[in-house]
Amino acid sequence: MGVWPSRWLGLLLLVFLWGSSSPASLLRRLREHIQQFQESSGLGLSLSPEAVALPKEKWLEQPLDPFNASDGRSFLQRYWVNDQYWASQDGPVFLHLGGEGSLGPGSVMRGHPAALAPTWGALVIGLEHRFYGLSIPPGGLDMAQLRFLSSRHALADVVSARLALSRLFNVSSSSPWICFGGSYAGSLAAWARLKFPHLIFASVASSAPLRAVLDFSEYNEVVSRSLSTPAIGGSRECLAATSAAFAEVERRLRAGGAARAALRAELGACGSLDAVEDRAELLGALQALVGGAVQYDGQAGAPLSVRRLCGLLVGAGGNCSRPAPYHGLRRAVQVFTHSLGQRCLSFSRAEAVAQLRVTEPQVFGVGDRQWLYQTCTEFGFYVTCEVPRCPFSQLPALPSHLELCEQVFGLPTSSVAQAVAQTNSYYGGQTPGATQVLFVNGDTDPWHVLSVTGNLGPSETAILIPSGSHCLDMAPEKPSDSPSLHQGRQNISQQLQTWFRLAKESQVRVAV
């Protein structure tokens, strides 16, 4: 069982480079690109003597349906272990949770929590999320299988892994387990402490969107604000240039004929732009490109920062007439697609739907079908641009997102809205009521509006990093990190110190 995923790894990487480029998948590919860049640049993936010895991947057998004891089916879940700093059997365990994508050995070697492990003598474990990366159950990704994919199933895996790995590594029953995670995995980290406080001692939830939402128009509100923020290279001129560039794209789309054909070639659209839905795909991909520059601003491996994007859009002369911003946007597309190895910026809607319907993991790359299923059945998170403050196209995007749930999975719109409401009811949204959880966010990150950015109580605290982007605190440290980021990481370390003091006090009380 443990070797079958390697057979299709090559195809998986091929599809990562040439697969569907719908707006949502573009952001996910950007995240994967940044993650891989940071891991490869920091782990010495070379043949030099100084290269870091990477931990070998390990496999844990997990029940496919943890909520049905009579179902004997199982799957192999991938994980990694870094024990080089583990000082004693009763030392802390840092459990780095994977989210809606593949996890790698960098999860236990670089960034948080690996950077904190030497200070506390911690054992570091990285656990890949079920149905992502190579932790895909035998049988593929059809609807009969996907019903075992949810945040609740993922939390059950955390519990099972916590118990099994404690036995496997002879971890002391007094060792505090701390969950770490970023983005959706950050939400899982918080929810693991919320639902299983007897097993998870505390959690650090970075850029965690705790509130599920159907229409995520707030995303582009933060993007607009960030594009005009001088501290990260934005300006009012940049925001105006962004609007001008998108207005020019729409003008050329409406013109049709030669103007539309030139636009297709210049902005990297695969296939014709004659259909309304295909034009919407292109506009959505352009929005994702700009949103991605904001979401991952300043991170190593990101092809575009806000400063660089604004430099392209505004130009040296600050000209916001139609041609200059459009040509800047065109150049930004070239930088983006080249960096990610994308053949095209956008594909046709029909092609995107066809790829999302594929159920064989051998030909489906970074988890697009799986994550779409989770958004349709739990979270929503559909980024729209229908408010006047949005600098992009004013297309009615929400119906298009919901239509995708029906086209790919046969799920009606009403069921998606109901699923979002149920998720918030089950986990508590932005007031989960957990204890010993630290929420970490950056105010540049569009996702921080769905997280917790202020203290909810003495044991439910928050850090908001000025000019911080998505999961920036989890990235490997570099000399150019801002003072506010340094301070944020220091605050995380101080919170860990407080938690470990509580753990020792609790052990003393038990002993007495």
Residue 445 is a catalytic residue: yes
> 203 and 178 in contact (C-beta within 8 Å)?
yes
Q: Which of 137, 125, 225, 171 is nearest to 467 (CA)?
A: 225
Task: Single out the residue of 424, 380, 458, 448 nearest to residue 206, CA to CA.
Answer: 448
Burial 63-77 (b: 16+ CB within 10 A, else e): bbebeeeeeeeebbb
Closest CA to 204 of 234, 235, 220, 183: 183
Active site residue 348: no
Number of H helices, E strands in the chain: 18, 10
Which one of 183, 346, 393, 467 is the catalytic residue? 183
**Coil, strand or helix: which one is 512?**
coil
Query: Residue written as tokens 């950050």?
Result: 186
CB-based contact 121:85 (threshold 8 Å): yes
Burial (CB count within 10 angstroms: exposed 0-12, middle 13-18, buried 19+), residue 4: exposed
Catalytic choice (445, 467, 469, 484): 445
Structure token pair of residue 338: 């080249």
- Which residue type is seen at 167? R
User: Is 183 annotated as catalytic?
Assistant: yes
- Calculate the alpha carbon distances from 319 to 11, 123, 240, 308, 313 in Å: 45, 54, 10, 16, 9
Please name the residue ranges forming H helices in 45-116.
106-109
185: helix, strand or coil:
helix
Q: Tell me the Cα Rg of the chain.
A: 23
DSSP letter for 457, please.
B
Report the DSSP beta bridge partners of residue 460.
437, 457
β-partners of residue 457 are: 460
Q: How far apart are CA 282 and CA 22, in angstroms?
A: 8
Residue 403, token pair as written in the block? 């239509």
In sign, the C-alpha dihedral spanning 43, 47, 49, 55 is: positive
CA distance 10 to 15: 9
Q: Which of 96, 112, 401, 470 is catalytic?
A: 470
- Distance (Å, rounded) from C-alpha 107 to C-alpha 92? 17
Please name which of 259, 245, 335, 347 lies closest in space to residue 287, comparing C-alpha atoms.
Answer: 245
Count of residues making up the chain: 512
SS3 state of residue 198: coil
Residue with tokens 């959690």: 203
Q: Give the residue among 413, 475, 410 at the shortest CA–CA distance from 445.
A: 475
Residues classed as catalytic: 183, 445, 470
